Amino acid sequence: MKPTYVQAGLMLLFLIFLNACSSDKKKSKDDIGEPNNSILEAGLLESGKTYTMKIDSVGDVDWYGLAVPEQGYVSVQAKQVPDNINLNVRFAHKQAWKTEKQQWITGWSKVPKTIPVRKPDTLYFAVIDDYNNESSTEDIVFKAAFIPEMDTLEPNDDPKNAVAVSSGQIMETYFFPKSDIDWFKINVDDPGYLMIQAKSVPENITINARYAKKKDQYSKVENISGWHKLPAGIQVTDPGVYYFSLIDDYNNQMSKDKAVWKIDNLPEMDTTEPNNTFKEAYPLKIGDTVASAIFPKKDNDIFKFASDSITAVHVVALEHPDNIKPEVRLYVKEDLKEKSLGGWHKLPHKFDLETERQYYVKLHDDYDNEFSTEPVVIQLIPAEQSEEEQND
């Protein structure tokens, strides 16, 4: 019986060997392989080379690393993903000598995902099913690639790294990767306007701009405008350094093609400015003619006048740029607050007045979506005079 046991043992060893060989044959030559469930077991990849992996058990985490030779970007992509799997990726640095072996540098994101890398490094990333509740025995084909930096102005993703520009300077910016934000700053010496305009923009990118400023040299940079599509302007009344940031409007697009743009520091073209608030309202008398530019976009100009003995006034637009549709609205002050006396009115328009009272009139473009350096010329005409002229 002993020889039989020996033969059986040899047969078992032979079957184990065949199974191992069979497994090796089934395993793709591009499968980086398990175990890679921690950052310390991460398989190192070649940039741009395709590999296979599996989320073959619920909760499976696969770690990989990629050498980054210089400043640039790392992109992770996948194909042939099983229908029940939604790949998510998260990037980290390895800290082998600490209790927590990975230092996360991003949150979890859907694949594909591209992130910036600011210096040479070995970058690690973990891949999971998004909710860790699905698995599959099917191979997933994926790759990680290093993309060299294309934007010589990077890094400028925060105000501290804002790139200084001058008025009229032609700039080139890349909106890459998704959620890229680029900061710039410009010195302003005299009151006027800042206007950002683009010459060429990639088809899938819609540039939005927002302006910011420090209250003083010790303060943080604070936003002084909302986001606006280009062209985007702002009135500047105080000298100093102004900051502005540029993004794709919804932060969901990216492009390796450049956008070409410039910012101009324009002199004040409107002698009634600043008059964008009731406190700054420009004083007029009934009978006066005034020229006021609707610039930049969403500009509102406010004037004040006393009715004296006049009981009605016509507000007339003598001239205006073709793209501007001027409208006016009348206000009075009650209980120390300005109160509107109705809605917006196209010009010309007649307003009934109470005698011996101060009024405010606000001027704007009808949809606040147009602007021009050419003025709107309006006149306040006593209603009696206007009616007499019409009768004549």
pLDDT band (50, 70, 90) for residue 18: very low
CA distance 230 to 196: 7
Mean predicted confidence (pLDDT) in 342-367? 97
Write the pLDDT tens digit of every residue in 89-125: 999 999 999 999 999 999 999 999 999 999 999 999 9
Q: Select from 64, 14, 5 the least CA-distant residue to 35.
A: 64
CA distance 65 to 45: 6
Contact indicator for 61, 126 with CB cutoff of 8 Å: yes
pLDDT band (50, 70, 90) for residue 28: very low
Question: Residue 377 has what pLDDT?
Answer: 97
User: Does residue 22 have a pLDDT over 70?
Assistant: no
The mean predicted confidence, pLDDT, of the chain is: 91
User: Does residue 13 have a pLDDT over 60?
Assistant: no
Question: Residue 99 has what pLDDT?
Answer: 95
Tokens describing residue 326: 């001027």
Contact indicator for 329, 340 with CB cutoff of 8 Å: yes
Domains and CATH numbers, the chain: 27-148 (2.60.120.380), 159-267 (2.60.120.380), 282-391 (2.60.120.380)
Mean predicted confidence (pLDDT) in 370-390? 82
Mean predicted confidence (pLDDT) in 275-302? 95
Question: Residue 24 has what pLDDT?
Answer: 39
Cβ atoms within 10 Å, residue 223: 13
Cβ-in-10-Å burial (0-12, 13-18, 19+) of 200 comes to: exposed
Write the pLDDT tens digit of every residue in 247-277: 999 999 999 999 999 999 999 989 999 999 9
Contact indicator for 172, 258 with CB cutoff of 8 Å: yes
CA distance 114 to 145: 9
pLDDT band (50, 70, 90) for residue 70: very high
Rounded alpha-carbon distances, angstroms, from residue 53 to 69, 86, 123, 154, 350: 25, 14, 19, 34, 75
pLDDT band (50, 70, 90) for residue 243: very high
Question: Residue 385 has what pLDDT?
Answer: 65
